[in-house]
Structure 1
């Protein structure tokens, strides 16, 4: 007699051989990228006498070479897969963001919390700047925002308070648009302040060149700087560090 499928006791073998299943745990690390840009060259940097006869001396726009810098920045940003552009509401930052957006096809949101340091050594009073509605009328890329400002600057500000305000604004925007890659366009102190808020107050401050890019990335809640003050996209990139303040 052939035992075939039967054991010696005559019972049919119905139990399958044990199968070992290996469960591989895959942890997807959440990552977010913020690009930080300083505005391009401003009119009063190119012409020191400009403010004496200007209607808006506290709110200069871009110089002609600054416009070209902003366009060069736009061509660089076009390759970065940015989802959203947010800018300080000063004319020079809005113009910079607008030229970037013209290249990339994005709109631009304005955030007062990214604005200039209200240093009473620079301003005798709250600086006179354009209304957000006026900026939206002038620049087609500027979008209305249904979200409240992350922060509102209060004159006067110490450097410490300005950095705290900018850091809180950067954190607010990163959390508000947590699934997006952002470009924040601001001032020299904007870049340092946002890094203070995201990375920590011990981040070095080497200054910030005009129209430069800084990259900071978050993975599992921790932010690290992976690129700082890059001006390789500018034709005059080697001279950009001359204006670090």
Structure 2
């Protein structure tokens, strides 16, 4: 399970955070607390998180409910986006319009001179896989990270071409996506969910 952090002031202002260390708002803490009570019902076996404060504080709420420790990894940080960081969406489009359009088309772009999305996946996906490999076959791993990093990690685990990762869509604050291992590799079971997974009934079960 990959869980996005709670709300920050820069989220509300539509500022690109990247790896800038922005704390949760009071509402963000409340979001994490509510979600943690739900996720605890899944009986997670391990929690790993980005070491940026917004993800660490979100993970801490689940740790408080479950009693599990949290292991923090720099590799789970949000994408470094150089000169884009701290700018609003409107400012990015005005100043870096061609670069922004190329990124939206799925071209490999170093937004603001920062990381490529594939480089984010290169550092984040191995952290998730290593942690998952330490669990029993039916173990539940909770990964607390950031919207862009989660999307690229899911894309890499599913074996999708990087040009199509954008099709996964974003995650709302404190929502999560659920992956499971199937006969043909990783499967996306839930995306941008805010409620507990329900059994799949019918021909696709």
**Fold shared by both chains (TM-score > 0.5):** yes
Determine helix, strand or coil for the equivalent of 2:82: coil
Aligned pair partner of 2:126 in 141, 145, 168: 168
User: Per-residue CA shift, 1:150-191, capped at 9, x if unaligned?
Assistant: xxxxx9412221133222332232224354310000000122
Show structure 2 runs of 5+ residues with no match: 87-112, 197-205
Q: Could you say which residue in structure 1 is the equivalent of 2:91?
A: none
Shift of 1:113: 1.2
Aligned pair partner of 2:6 in 30, 33, 40: 40
Q: Could you say which residue in structure 1 is the equivalent of 2:35?
A: 73
Deviates more, 1:200-209 or 1:92-101: 200-209
Shift of 1:43: 3.1
Q: Is the 8 A contact 1:213 1:229 kept in 2?
A: yes
Shift of 1:36: 0.7
Structure number with greater Rg is 1
Q: Could you say which residue in structure 1 is the equivalent of 2:115?
A: 157
2: CA distance between counterparts of 1:220 and 1:83?
23
Q: Aligned residue pairs: how many? A: 163
Match runs of 1:18-37 below 5 Å: 35-37=1-3
User: Per-residue CA shift, 1:7-29, capped at 9, x if unaligned?
Assistant: xxxxxxxxxxxxxxxxxxxxxxx
Higher helix share: 2
1: CA distance between counterparts of 2:7 and 2:79?
17
2: CA distance between counterparts of 1:48 and 1:200?
30
Show structure 1 runs of 5+ residues with no match: 1-34, 52-56, 125-154, 234-245
Give the TM-score normalised by structure 1.
0.59
Q: Could you say which residue in structure 2 is the equivalent of 1:17?
A: none
Determine helix, strand or coil for the equivalent of 1:192: helix
Q: Could you say which residue in structure 2 is the equivalent of 1:61?
A: 23
Shift of 1:41: 0.2
Determine helix, strand or coil for the equivalent of 2:3: strand
Q: Could you say which residue in structure 2 is the equivalent of 1:20?
A: none
Determine helix, strand or coil for the equivalent of 1:78: helix
Aligned pair partner of 1:201 in 151, 160, 175: 160
